[in-house]
Amino acid sequence: MGILSNKISRDEVRPGDHIYSWRTAYLYAHHGIYVDDGLVIEYIRGSSTKLPCRICRGRSKSGGVTSSCLDCFLGGGNLYRYEYNVSKAALLAKVRGGTCTTATSDPPEDVLYRADFLLRENGFGVYDLFENNCETFAIYCKTGLVSCEKNRLGISSGQSTSFVAAAVVVALPGPGFCAYNVARLISDIGMRAKRGDDGVNKVPVEELVDMRNAA
């Protein structure tokens, strides 16, 4: 990963950070919001098959927004911090989707408020690998930005883009790498918000939960 790495040590992680850890030999990353005292709020798909550790025992692991200790969150992997407010050039330089965005992060207290509210309400809707995943959850907590397209409520994330991009790379040998990066840039929610894209809106967390409950 070299200079492109966002890897950090446990001493460097701060409340309100969007953190992630690679799973299954870098095939996908698991994302969450670091709270404090080794606690992480995350959005998980289905129920966890792992036995909870002593700290996590008694916490709901039946899917949706849940809390976890940092060790269970990392699952033996390294700790990385998702970067916000990166330049367009830096975004293009990132080889892998899902590690940074040009969107600006709100102050940690806003991030923690959203994450805690969604945890209490389990209010992030139904997990969808492409439209509504652990990365979109963390990006929402950091920015309050959602993308409302095709009457669906979703947040464009690098992780979902990387699946689309993989298809592009297969279809277009040669220029595939460029297509991938352009796709990433186009879908970056920060760029879209800065362009004044109608589909990208800042939505208060109470409203988001109401919208999800009504959907």
Q: Which is nearer to Zn ion, 38 or 199 (CB)?
A: 38
Query: 67 or 101, CB closer to Zn ion?
Result: 67
Does position 56 interact with Zn ion (CB under 5 A)? The reply is yes
Residue burial 51-81, b: 16+ Cβ < 10 Å; e: rest: eeeeebeeeebeebbbbbbbebbbeeeebbb
**Cβ nearer to Zn ion, comparing 68 with 136:** 68
Rounded least distance, CB 18 to Zn ion, Å: 19
Query: 32 forms bridges with which residues in the sheet?
Result: 19, 42
CB of 20 to Zn ion, least distance (A): 17
C-alpha R_g of the chain: 17
Give the C-alpha separation, 5 to 190, whole Å.
20
> Is residue 91 a contact residue for Zn ion (CB under 5 A)?
no
Among the residue ranges 49-57, 113-121, 173-181, 198-206, the one whose residues contact Zn ion (CB under 5 A): 49-57
Q: Where are the beta strands (DSSP E) in the chain?
A: 18-23, 28-36, 39-44, 64-69, 80-81, 145-149, 152-154, 200-202
Cβ–Cβ under 8 Å, residues 19 and 25: no
Candidates 41-49, 52-60, 107-115, 153-161: pick the segment binding Zn ion (CB under 5 A).
52-60
Site for Zn ion (CB under 5 A): which residue of 53, 93, 186, 215?
53
Contact footprint for Zn ion (CB under 5 A) = 53, 55-56, 69, 72
